[in-house]
Structure 1
Amino acid sequence: MFDPDDSDNSNIQLLNDRDDSAMAFASYRFGPITAKLAQDISGVHNGYLGQLSLGFPIPIATWRVIPSIRYQYISGQMSNYMFGVSQSESTKTGGTISSYDAPATSRTSYGFVAFHSISKNISTMVSIRQTQYDSSIKQSPIVDNDTVNSALIGIFYKF
């Protein structure tokens, strides 16, 4: 989530942390299609999200590769918590950062995750993903880019 201390901008550093929330979710899978609904149960933002994703595993030699695409709808409460700037935060910056009420938004992600078993108990994982937020999110004074690229490499040990 958003951590103002990660910024070199002294005004951004005056803003509040956007901490993670506890989300309860229900998910249903039908073949390669998954639908998910999640709701904040911690009272952090009281928002929700809906997700529809498509992923199909493809065996390639000793790897299992799963290309996927995902669409998420993010409610106004959750979006405003993540990307909004309250009037009190704006006041802390002397108005340098304007207050902003973020509307409901969406994001689309595509990429792949690949798994490889090294032994009975050890597996590796590689994931590459690009996420594109709805263009309205760039109106937020704390958002520089509406695209997020990520890569993750991991090793798993099964007990």
Structure 2
Amino acid sequence: MLHPKSPALTVGLVGALAVRRLCACPGACQAGFPWRLGVALGYGERSNPPIQSRDIPVAVDLDIAWFGKRFFFDNGDLGLTFMNRPAGTASFVVRANSDRVFFSRTSTRFVSVSVTGAPLATPAPLKPPKRRYAIETGVEYLVDGRWGRMSLAGFQDVSSVHNGFGADLEYGYAIQGRRWTLEPSILLRYKSGELNDYYWGVRAGEASAALPAYDAGDGLNWQLGVRSSYYFSRRLRFVATFNHERLNADAAHSPLVEQRAVRAYFGGFAYSF
């Protein structure tokens, strides 16, 4: 078990190394090495919104990807590209829903008041209920140009975990100097009622004197981010990232949620193999 402040080794958790782009799609690497391998060493942290949870410190962030003619693996995502044109790239993608990560560092505590502030007759245990990873499939469309980059994706649960769906729309614009890059971005993330309620709702069988039942509907998260790099060589660079994601109202009002925003940052040295 990790100590609450033990740095973790992660794969793409804070996005320090790579964002899937048109230039890093299947077919683009065929003239050279099909692998994209990188490691970033430094320090960062990702906040955890649930009650009784600990933030996730990050010391090592990995970038592991492989691009074939049509198939690819990109930091846990499996994909099949069915359209690859100058105007954009479209792929079928299989992934694990990332909301489950929030419930991986929680603990039980005895409390004398409920999460709503009501006093309890006797101390009661309080711990977020368990949640499972959902396997989702969907379509992702990537396009970029001098105006920036944009990605549009929609995913449906195929593992019968939450039976819901979600959609992402992201735009980023890279400003480039001789040795540095700076890319601000904005992301809109829609979550259906089934998806939102599975992770942030409290079912009758999970409710207690300390944790009331709660039904969550659909909602829209938004995220602002910035990524920067300073290159010492083609392979070695210093990276810094920051993301601020605002949870939708139905998730934020859940008795499981203590923090409405998810913040992630990382700074360190990255090496691409």
User: Fold match, TM over 0.5?
Assistant: yes
Equivalent residue for 2:159, pick from 35, 38, 42: 42
* Structure-1 separation of matches of 2:241 and 2:150: 19
- Higher strand proportion: 2
- Shift of residue 55 of structure 1? 0.5
Alignment of 1:140-155 (within 5 A): 140-153=254-267, 155=269
- Shift of residue 158 of structure 1? 3.4
- Shift of residue 155 of structure 1? 4.8
- Give the match for residue 132 of structure 2: 19
- Shift of residue 5 of structure 1? 5.6
Aligned residue for 2:251, secondary structure, equals: helix
Equivalent residue for 1:73, pick from 182, 187, 190: 190
- Shift of residue 127 of structure 1? 1.4
Poorly superposed stretches of 4+, deviation over 6 Å: none
**Alignment RMSD, CA only?**
2.3
**TM-score, normalising length: structure 2:** 0.51
* Structure-1 separation of matches of 2:235 and 2:178: 19
Unaligned runs of 5+ residues in structure 1 are none
Equivalent residue for 2:243, pick from 129, 138, 141: 129
- Shift of residue 76 of structure 1? 1.0
Deviating more after overlay: 114-123 vs 47-56? 114-123
- Shift of residue 47 of structure 1? 1.9
- Shift of residue 61 of structure 1? 4.3
- Shift of residue 7 of structure 1? 3.9
- Give the match for residue 142 of structure 2: 29
Aligned residues of 2:163 and 2:194 also touching (Cα < 8 A): yes
- Shift of residue 124 of structure 1? 4.2
Larger Rg: 2
Per-residue CA shift, 1:24-65, capped at 9, x if unaligned? Answer: 232112332221112223332222111111101111442222
Whether 2:102 is the aligned partner of 1:2: answer: yes
Per-residue CA shift, 1:107-133, capped at 9, x if unaligned? Answer: 000011123444333444321011112
- 155 and 44 in structure 1: CA distance in 2 versus 1, 3 angstrom threshold: farther
- Higher helix proportion: 1
**TM-score, normalising length: structure 1:** 0.82
* Structure-1 separation of matches of 2:232 and 2:130: 40
